[in-house]
Amino acid sequence: MRTFIIITFLLNFSYSNAQLQKDVENHQITINALLPGVVYELGVSKSSTLTAEATMGFAYQESDFFGNGFGIYPIGRIQYRDYYNFDRRIRKGKRISGNTGNYTAPTVAIQGGNALIGDLDYVSRYTLALGAVYGIQRTYPSGFQFRLEAGPAYFIDEFSNGIDLLLSAKVGWVLGRGKSK
């Protein structure tokens, strides 16, 4: 019984220690520059983050029947990012600071239907997107960051639903200092 307790203690200690040695940042706040917004990343495991974002999105539509229009809309988004190439980047002597890496992420987003700026208003008051994206994020020592994401998503609004492509491109700055990896 005593041996069992010691082994259990050692296994718990080593598991806890492994959880403390994360490659991702514990907390990271990014301010988007092109379309205003803020992103908060919370490190939840060695190479995964839970990400919440409040930002603006851009849409452009060209139609022979309705004419042309554009709009800038409020968007809220939640992701669970799994950064899968940290080990390879470290082996090659590349940085991972600021969660610099490639990731996959299930994504839930909601967008308002009325444009804050522009003349392209949707009939529906909202659009909900459920999807999975592949993303590339790079953060430089100055704090400058860019991110590109793409993937399929199921879009739902008050009147219709369907599958389409979810695209995102962001440029901004990370607040504070990250790890020096």
Confidence (pTM): 0.80
Measured CA to CA, the distance from residue 105 to residue 78 in angstroms comes to 9
The strand pairing partners of 95, in sequence order, are none
Confidence class for position 128, pLDDT limits 50, 70, 90: very high
Confidence class for position 12, pLDDT limits 50, 70, 90: low
Q: Cα 46 to chain center, whole Å? A: 17
> Average pLDDT for residues 134-144, to the nearest whole number?
95
Other Cβ atoms within 10 Å of 3 Cβ, number: 7
The confidence score (pLDDT) of residue 67 equals 73
Residue 13 pLDDT > 50, yes or no? no
CA-closest candidate to residue 143, choices 174, 172, 101, 170: 174
- pLDDT, tens digit, 9 for 90 and up, residues 49-91: 999 999 998 887 787 776 788 888 999 999 999 999 999 999 9
Confidence class for position 100, pLDDT limits 50, 70, 90: very high
DSSP string, 74-135: EEEEEEEEEE--HHHHHHTT---TTT-EEEEEEEEEEEESS-SEES---SSSEEEEEEEEEE
Measured CA to CA, the distance from residue 162 to residue 156 in angstroms comes to 7
CA-closest candidate to residue 35, choices 71, 81, 78, 79: 71
- pLDDT, tens digit, 9 for 90 and up, residues 26-53: 999 999 998 899 999 999 999 999 999 9
pLDDT over 70 percentage in the chain: 86
Contacts of 53 (CB under 8 A, 6+ apart): 37, 38, 39, 40, 75, 76, 77, 78, 79
> Average pLDDT for residues 94-102, to the nearest whole number?
93
